[in-house]
A = this chain, B = another copy of it.
Amino acid sequence: MSDEQACWQGIPGGVTAAQGFRAAATRCGIKQAEVDDLGLLVCDVQGTAAATFTRNRVTAAPVRWSREVVARGGVRAAMVNSGNANACTGERGLRDVQTTAQAAADALGLVPDNLLVASTGIIGHFLPVDKLLAGIPVAAQQLDSSLEAGDRFARAIMTTDTVVKQHALRCDLGAGHVVLGGTTKGAGMIAPNMATTLSFLTTDAIIERPLLQEMLCRAIELTYNRITIDNHASTNDTCVILASGLADAPAIEAGTEAAARFEAALAELCGVLARKIVEDGEGATRLVQIDVVGALTVADALAVARAIADSPLCKTALHSGDPNWGRFVSAGGNACPSLDETKATFQVGDVVAYAGGMAADALPEALAEAMAGRTVRLRYDLGLGEASATVWTCDLSKDYITINADYHT
């Protein structure tokens, strides 16, 4: 859906676009670089919240903490640091979360149970608690509802990201309007599974927690869970949405037109943010959309799309812009036992490269041109059924190696 046809329209801002949210960020010195590494996001009232978390069995301490906070309800604020993941830090890691959550609660006039905590950065190092304790009151003093404050929060969660990632929408519910906004980070260890990298979403909609959680899970399944940079789900993936309920609009009830519109806008927000992650993947020069259609099941379609999206051979061909379609076609052949090569069709952009089990009559120049853009679309029609799936990925460049070979413990 384009913005014109849809019930939403893009507006400036991120986490502070909706009514009822203040954000702040400060540099507390976790990172050596002179950048902000601590962020606070606060909802002015007791609204509702929903969240999803990594399924990695190696789970960071803040994820273990935040899962319980969200399950109990009553989330009022989120504290996030970059530069240290507080993962693989055992019981001390959990104690460090408690200590810093208590400090943030004190500074904000809340209780620790109101505090969702998220971390991103190096794995296996203890959190520099003293630095956080010094930075928390400074950040709390600066809380502000301006778009600039949201922007600063968005920058504080960046790791190897090269650009800030935020987006906001105004959604027409039919009766009344609500605003949704959010920010997210990349840029490596990206293959979300029922969760995301770090993602903070806000809205001023009035909506109960169970419905919000349902909508968030469905939106993520088709957006964050369909992106991959390096097929490595992180220990710290967290996606949270806070709803202030301060919009001048009726409460959103399950099964209504307003609910459908809100969920469409939420999916759009998650989709835009997720694609921003891929576009800024470590070393990435192209955003690649892989549409698999004509499959017997969605699982088959997804398996084929993921096999291409995670194949280093396909990703290096995408990097060079070489229409080496044999790599794409054969990656699919590994992933789907029902695939019949005589029925499959593979195309780059609008150019059919492969059909009937062999090369199609495409002009090499036309294929090369379809591979050459900043955005590349691949389409694999299995010719077997009606199911389909879309996955987004990026190319694999030497810069990915540089970034990840040099990111030292």
Tell me the smallest distance from the CB of A125 to a CB of chain B, in Å.
Answer: 8
In the bound assembly, the distance between CA atoms of A233 and B122 in angstroms comes to 33
Query: Is A92 a contact partner of B358 (Cβ separation < 8 A)?
Result: yes
Instruction: Count A interface residues, CB 8 Å.
Output: 73
In the bound assembly, the distance between CA atoms of A125 and B324 in angstroms comes to 11
Within 8 A of B (CB), among A356-376: 356-359, 364
In the bound assembly, the distance between CA atoms of A306 and B159 in angstroms comes to 27
In the bound assembly, the distance between CA atoms of A55 and B233 in angstroms comes to 27
Which residues of the other chain, B, contact A88 by a CB distance below 8 angstroms? 326, 329-330, 341, 354, 357-359
Q: Which residue of B lies closest to A233 (CB)?
A: B334
**Given A124-B358, A320-B405 in contact, is the A340-B400 Cβ separation under 8 Å?**
no
In the bound assembly, the distance between CA atoms of A87 and B124 in angstroms comes to 46
Is A260 positioned at the interface, with any CB of B under 8 Å from its CB? no
In the bound assembly, the distance between CA atoms of A333 and B88 in angstroms comes to 11
Query: Is A409 a contact partner of B326 (Cβ separation < 8 A)?
Result: yes
Query: Is B330 a contact partner of A232 (Cβ separation < 8 A)?
Result: yes
Query: Is A231 a contact partner of B312 (Cβ separation < 8 A)?
Result: yes
One digit per residue, 1 when the CB lies within 8 angstroms of any chain B CB and 0 when it does not, for chain A 79-108 equals: 000000101111111000000000000000
Query: Is B398 a contact partner of A58 (Cβ separation < 8 A)?
Result: no
Query: Is A330 a contact partner of B56 (Cβ separation < 8 A)?
Result: yes
Query: Is B333 a contact partner of A56 (Cβ separation < 8 A)?
Result: yes
Query: Is A408 a contact partner of B324 (Cβ separation < 8 A)?
Result: yes
Partner among B59, B92, B329, B336 whose Cβ is within 8 Å of the Cβ of A341: B59
Query: Is B341 a contact partner of A58 (Cβ separation < 8 A)?
Result: yes
Q: Which residue of B lies closest to A324 (CB)?
A: B409
The count of identical subunits is: 2
Tell me the smallest distance from the CB of A84 to a CB of chain B, in Å.
Answer: 11
**Given A311-B232, A312-B396, A334-B233 in contact, is the A339-B58 Cβ separation under 8 Å?**
yes
Which residues of the other chain, B, contact A189 by a CB distance below 8 angstroms? 313, 327, 330
Which residues of the other chain, B, contact A85 by a CB distance below 8 angstroms? 326
One digit per residue, 1 when the CB lies within 8 angstroms of any chain B CB and 0 when it does not, for chain A 180-191 equals: 000000001101
Partner among B92, B193, B334, B358 whose Cβ is within 8 Å of the Cβ of A232: B334
**Given A324-B409, A401-B396 in contact, is the A313-B232 Cβ separation under 8 Å?**
yes
Those 4 A-B pairs whose CB atoms lie nearest each other, nearest first: A123-B326, A58-B333, A90-B358, A320-B405
What are 24 A-B contacts with C-beta separation under 8 Å?
A55-B334, A56-B333, A57-B334, A57-B338, A58-B329, A88-B330, A90-B342, A93-B358, A123-B329, A124-B325, A189-B313, A191-B334, A193-B334, A232-B311, A232-B313, A232-B314, A233-B334, A316-B400, A319-B401, A319-B405, A320-B408, A322-B409, A398-B398, A398-B402
Beyond the given A57-B336, A57-B338, A189-B327, could you list 19 further A-B residue pairs with CB under 8 A, ordered by the A residue number?
A57-B334, A57-B340, A58-B332, A87-B330, A88-B354, A90-B356, A123-B324, A123-B326, A123-B327, A123-B330, A124-B325, A193-B334, A231-B310, A232-B311, A322-B405, A324-B407, A325-B409, A326-B409, A398-B401
